[in-house]
Structure formats: structure tokens, C-alpha cells
Amino acid sequence: MAASKTTTPPPVEPAKCPTCKGSGEISRAVHVGRKRRPVGQQTGICLTCLGSGEATD
């Protein structure tokens, strides 16, 4: 085995969270009242990745 190729492993890229697309934040509609009236959008932490933006196994 004289010619041994040095194979460098590909860099491990963390999978992006499918929920927030890797941003770690998601915008959700805010509803208030008993009729759940939408009052706007609020940006919150992504509960899937807990803000890291990386998909977890």
C-alpha cells in the first residue's frame, strides 16, 4: 500500500432546522381575546431548535 490517498472527510455542516430555516427565530401570529383575533406577528425563539438554528436529532 504505497499509494495511499489522503482523503479528507467533508466538513460536517450542521443541518438547518426545518422549522426556522436555520435562523433560530420564527414569526408567529399573535391572537388575543376569546375570539382569537389576530393582532399581528411576533418573532419568537424557535422551539424546535431552541434558537440554535440547527436541526437536532
Phi first, then psi: give them for residue 42, nearest 5 degrees: -130, 135
Choose between 15 and 29: whose C-beta lies nearer to Zn ion.
15
Binding site residues, Zn ion, CB under 5 A = 17, 19-20, 46, 48-49
Contacts of 26 (CB under 8 A, 6+ apart): 19, 20, 43, 44, 45, 46, 47
CB of 46 to Zn ion, least distance (A): 3
Choose between 18 and 32: whose C-beta lies nearer to Zn ion.
18
CB of 15 to Zn ion, least distance (A): 11
